[in-house]
Amino acid sequence: MMNIVYNAVKIASELASFSDVVAGNSGEKRVVENIRGLLEDDVDVVRVEPVEVLAWEEDFCVIYIDGVPYACSVHPPYEGYADIVVDRGGLVYLGSFDDVDKVVQGVEGRVVVIENVEDPNYIAFHAYKLRKYNPIAIVFIDKLNALRRIVAVDDIISRYNTLKPPLIPAIHVKRDVGLRFRKATNIRINLRSRLSSSYGFNVIAEINGRDSGTVYLAAHHDHWFSGVVDDVLGVSTLISFAKTNTLSSVTRGSIVLAFFTAEEGFPNPLSSFYWLVGSRHHVLNNADRILEEVPLVLNLDVVYRGRIRFSTSNLVARGFLIKSGINVDSIEHDSMLYDSFSFTMLGIPSITMHNYYEALNDGIYHSTLDDIELIKFIGAESLLNVLYNIVVLLKNSYIMTEPSQLRRILNLGIRTLTRDLALKVLPLEVTLELYKVLRRLEQCHDISKVQRVLPSIHRVITSTYIPKSVYEGTEIYEKTSYIICNDEVLHLPLGVSLNNDCYKNIIYDLESLTYILRC
């Protein structure tokens, strides 16, 4: 195991030297060639899969405070050139976003400076709201001494609708630079960033096994800044597994190593569901094969320290984790944040292993602090814990294709479903139809039919949504759960409110599944 850790750290150091590896830019092309070169002698097949993207690049970002230059970072996907000069009177300060209603009338034509944004994901929300009042620029002062990149488009609902890049730049400065603003008499903001049509590249490597079934191991190779935690360590860990021949020794089935592009963005044309572009492309273009051959997807993202979480909403995947000894308290619903979600939308058992919350709370997320020095802080013990869990899951992955075992892990997963639904008030008709489907699953002796129908069941019962209160900023995170139908949410990634039709559609789909499951 320590040999895998050593190789993973060595490879991570090399990949992290490429800063701002954004889908479609020159840095990504170099990283893709690097990954392919590292893998080609240790796998059976390695191929590169082109994906149409919008490539974003920052050429420069400098802020002059009384003539002294300091580095800043542009929040994507702004494109254009800006050279803005203001005196002290041209600045509007917000100590927190709670103050915005007090100053909106004075924002137009001025530079808004915002401090004390505790959760960096709120940067996108604040930029969206403030741009409506036509400032000439928005400056975020980091809570730590770091630069940061948060995608800030002109829509806060994650959906397929196309939109144009924002016209007003939002930038980020370090804490020590922000402290100089109060005493400044003259501020100049000079920046340029570009957005252009291009191609990103998924790297797909295959290791042939003896048994049927193909397990996917995935990570994304694009990243902001050095991106060690998000997701260079994920990429280097999977490469290290392949180079030490560990994978073929722990599983009898075939393995696909999938290194996805454009997890951070951007699709062409641009939309507010701007991420997971590479994995969505791959799933869409290989859906029939994936449904036929893939019993499990294991995605590795935000490898950091602390307790590992396992994100999945799939009943088979949840039962598999429990059967493999994973504590149920470490299992949560899949998230729209991760590449596993692309497979979840198809109904495939998909799991993301991550330390996202710890990286977010420690201020590492999408910042210059996410660099190679973090590996010393994370420590070998944390990396060994990640490796151990991957090996355990791979050793047990054979049970995903064995009929007798599949029924057992499905029943374990159904228990998590019943616990979840026990906290909700569902219409009686929905509960009855769901019971009929689950009962038919238990009684059906044709396990191949059960396997074929399970993806459809998961597409029916799994809901991804965001509360409408997102417009007030009280809840900005997308959520996934089972059977969500109410007037207070928007279903994603369509971005629509289904209202009364929601339950009717679910009842109809469940009735159809009950009919199909006659065995």
Report whether 268 contacts 56 (CB < 8 A).
no
What are the residues whose beta carbons fall under 8 Å from the beta carbon of 395, sequence distance 6 or more? Answer: 250, 251
Q: What is the full per-residue pLDDT of the chain (519 aa) written as tens digits?
A: 778 888 999 999 999 999 999 999 999 999 999 999 999 999 999 999 999 999 999 999 999 999 999 999 999 999 999 999 999 999 999 876 666 666 677 899 999 999 989 999 999 999 999 999 999 999 999 999 999 999 999 999 999 999 999 999 999 999 999 999 888 999 999 999 999 999 999 999 999 998 889 999 999 999 999 999 999 999 999 999 999 888 888 888 999 999 999 999 999 999 999 999 999 999 999 999 999 999 999 999 999 999 999 999 999 999 999 999 999 999 999 999 999 999 999 999 999 999 999 999 999 999 999 999 998 888 778 888 898 899 999 999 988 888 889 999 999 999 999 999 999 999 999 999 999 999 999 899 899 999 999 999 999 999 999 999 999 888 999 999 999 998 999 999 999 887 778 999 999 999 999 999 998
Report whether 265 contacts 23 (CB < 8 A).
yes
Residue 296 belongs to some domain of the structure:
no
Closest CA to 189 of 153, 149, 139, 134: 139
Residue 442, number of CB atoms within 10 A of its CB? 12
Three-state secondary-structure class, residue 216 = strand
**Containing domain of residue 488, as a range?**
424-516
Report whether 28 contacts 158 (CB < 8 A).
no
Question: What's the number of domains the chain is made of?
Answer: 1
Residue 463 belongs to some domain of the structure:
yes
pLDDT at 249: 82
Distance CA 119, CA 265 (A): 20
Distances (CA, A) of 8 to 1, 115, 244, 395: 11, 37, 10, 21
Closest CA to 501 of 486, 480, 482, 481: 486
Distances (CA, A) of 495 to 161, 343, 465: 9, 19, 8
Three-state secondary-structure class, residue 113 = strand
Residue 209 belongs to some domain of the structure:
no
What are the residues whose beta carbons fall under 8 Å from the beta carbon of 188, sequence distance 6 or more? Answer: 63, 64, 83, 84, 85
Distance CA 51, CA 33 (A): 16
pLDDT at 505: 95
Residue 243 belongs to some domain of the structure:
no
Report whether 152 contacts 127 (CB < 8 A).
yes
Residue 319 belongs to some domain of the structure:
no
Report whether 195 contacts 79 (CB < 8 A).
yes
What are the residues whose beta carbons fall under 8 Å from the beta carbon of 367, sequence distance 6 or more? Answer: 120, 142, 144, 146, 147, 148, 149, 225
Q: Which amino acid is at 368?
A: T
Residue 37 belongs to some domain of the structure:
no
Residue 447 belongs to some domain of the structure:
yes
What are the residues whose beta carbons fall under 8 Å from the beta carbon of 5, sequence distance 6 or more? Answer: 240, 380, 383, 384, 387
Residue 180 belongs to some domain of the structure:
no
